[in-house]
């Protein structure tokens, strides 16, 4: 799909052929302003609702998407991801909506605390929604991270109206999903304005700078995320931008695991070419002990797997080719390549090797190349490995490949890598982020703009709320979650004075 705008339309392009799938209308400036205004009008009432009501809305949206025919086929025409993968992703997306519905209804995310102080006063605290949220979905996951993805699901669950921007890689699908959601919300009795989709390149800055927008959720490139972050920081009233951005996710092979790399090479090849390498959690850099020909083995595994496919848009494919050239100019050497199928946004898959001493902070070698490429470097000893890790930038995830449960280097590497990534995987691969209460999908700068948050899992709701304390307030003045009767029946921490404990 090309991010091509023609006059007042956004054109959808088939990545396989480069031909048009059709077009959707660009939202005019006044349309963006109207969507934000309607979201602001209902924000307080939506936030005050019992979470179970919003949970019902999310389940209604999930049902509407589940029962709508033709969504996978439309997504495949716009992304070339294949119907099998898109079918699985569609199921993931509706499961997400139901998961966030369950999280909202359970209520512990509110962090409700009711306390009687030592002098007989009262102190109560809970999280409350920020207000309207602007959501910028990802190009590579049109269902799971699109206009009805994690950001939208968690924001609605937390009590925030959403204005989502249609992604130019799949504008027709974005438009259709938006219509399904609005109709489902209307049938569920939700107020008009709780959700809207806008389209067009100029809508992004207009959304972020709209005075009534209270937060931004973004999934995409560093360039895009940081541009929105800067816009939000320069507003008269700055707002948080929760941007999950691409980075190089390292794989560290322990010294004892080098001898068994042949056992895991196939899995690595599958991981970095999964979805043609278009995962923000794709392993992009392997640090392996010297002497085991890990780059050659990885190249052989790539040739055996022989992946062939297209990237999401011609622009992304062009950036990938440019990235390969940049890596070569920075000192990387090609070990193995598999040519693309040809046509449209076709690209080759590749394994490259590089002298580990070239891995220095700020080098192009340590920046993401979005697509099916893997860089391999060999370290000499523990001190050399420690020095290399010290040059890496913050990342979403990392893998540690071990020789087994008794590998003496595992504990130290897990601890070391946990300082620079949000998720450490032992003897496994980083693509694929499970939907769970304990999940962390985020990491230190520059992988995200807010390292203490996650965009996947139950804690994703925290991003769109802030804690408020009430001291000495009468029961009737408190939000329902903090009142003595606890009418919402949510989990709470009730603290007695120290003398009574």
**Per annotation, catalytic residue among 280, 367, 368, 378:** 280
- Backbone torsion region of residue 245, taken as left when φ is above 0, otherwise alpha when ψ lies between -120 and 50, otherwise beta: beta
Catalytic residue among 89, 244, 367, 368: 244
Quick check: is 244 catalytic? yes
Q: Return the residue matching tokens 């029961």.
A: 475
Residue 240 three-state SS: coil
366 token code pair: 């340590």
Q: Is the dihedral of CA 61, 166, 312, 244 positive or negative?
A: negative
The whole-angstrom separation of Cα 448 and Cα 393 is 11
Q: Is 249 in contact with 430 (CB distance < 8 Å)?
A: yes
- Dihedral sign, Cα of residue 355, residue 358, residue 361, residue 364: negative
Residue 399 belongs to what H/E stretch?
A: strand 395-401
Q: Which strand ranges, in their side-by-side order, compose the sheet holding 333-338?
A: 333-338, 349-353, 373-379, 283-289, 249-253, 395-401, 421-426
Helix then strand then coil, % of the chain, to nearest 5: 40, 20, 40
What is residue 444's DSSP assignment?
Answer: S
C-alpha atoms less than 13 angstroms from C-alpha of 482 in its C-beta half-sphere: 29
Catalytic machinery residues: 244, 280
């Amino acid at each position: 799909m090309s991010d091509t705008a023609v006059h007042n339309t956004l054109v959808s392009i088939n990545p396989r052929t480069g031909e048009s799938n059709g077009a959707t209308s660009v939202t005019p400036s006044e349309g963006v302003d109207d969507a934000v205004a309607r979201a602001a009008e209902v924000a307080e009432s939506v936030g005050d609702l019992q979470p179970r009501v919003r949970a019902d809305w999310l389940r209604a949206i999930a049902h509407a998407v589940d029962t709508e025919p033709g969504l996978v086929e439309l997504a495949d025409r716009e992304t070339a991801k294949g119907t099998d993968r898109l079918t699985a992703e569609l199921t993931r997306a509706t499961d997400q909506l139901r998961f966030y519905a369950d999280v909202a209804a359970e209520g512990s995310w509110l962090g409700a605390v009711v306390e009687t102080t030592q002098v007989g006063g009262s102190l109560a605290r809970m999280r409350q929604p920020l207000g309207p949220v602007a959501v910028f979905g990802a190009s590579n996951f049109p269902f799971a991270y699109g206009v009805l993805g994690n950001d939208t699901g968690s924001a609605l669950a937390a009590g925030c109206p959403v204005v989502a921007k249609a992604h130019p890689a799949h504008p027709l699908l974005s438009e259709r999903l938006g219509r399904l959601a609005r109709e489902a919300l209307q049938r569920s009795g939700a107020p008009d304005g709780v959700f809207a989709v806008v389209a067009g390149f100029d809508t992004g800055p207009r959304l972020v700078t709209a005075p009534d927008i209270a937060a931004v959720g973004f999934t995409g490139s560093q360039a895009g995320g940081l541009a929105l972050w800067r816009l939000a920081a320069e507003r008269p009233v700055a707002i948080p931008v929760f941007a999950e951005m691409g980075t190089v996710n390292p794989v560290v092979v322990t010294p004892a695991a080098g001898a068994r790399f042949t056992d895991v090479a196939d899995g690595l090849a599958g991981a970095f070419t999964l979805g043609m390498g278009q995962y923000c959690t794709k392993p992009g850099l392997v640090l392996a002990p010297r002497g085991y020909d890990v780059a050659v083995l990885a190249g052989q595994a790539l040739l055996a797997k022989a992946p062939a496919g297209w990237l999401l848009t011609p622009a992304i494919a062009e950036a990938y080719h440019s990235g390969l050239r940049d890596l070569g100019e920075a000192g990387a050497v090609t070990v193995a390549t598999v040519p693309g199928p040809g046509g449209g946004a076709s690209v080759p898959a590749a394994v490259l090797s590089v002298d580990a001493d070239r891995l220095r902070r700020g080098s192009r070698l340590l920046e993401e190349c979005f697509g099916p490429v893997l860089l391999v470097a060999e370290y000499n000893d523990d001190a050399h490995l420690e020095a290399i890790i010290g040059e890496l930038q913050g990342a979403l995830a990392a893998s540690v490949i071990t020789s087994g449960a008794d590998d003496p280097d595992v504990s130290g590497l897990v601890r070391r890598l946990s300082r620079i990534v949000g998720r450490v995987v032992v003897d496994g691969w980083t693509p694929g982020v499970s939907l769970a209460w304990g999940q962390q999908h985020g990491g230190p700068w520059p992988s995200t703009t807010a390292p203490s948050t996650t965009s996947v899992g139950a804690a994703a709701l925290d991003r769109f709320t802030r804690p408020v304390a009430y001291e000495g307030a009468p029961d009737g003045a408190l939000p329902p979650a903090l009142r003595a009767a606890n009418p919402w029946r949510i989990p709470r921490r009730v603290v007695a004075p120290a003398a009574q404990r």
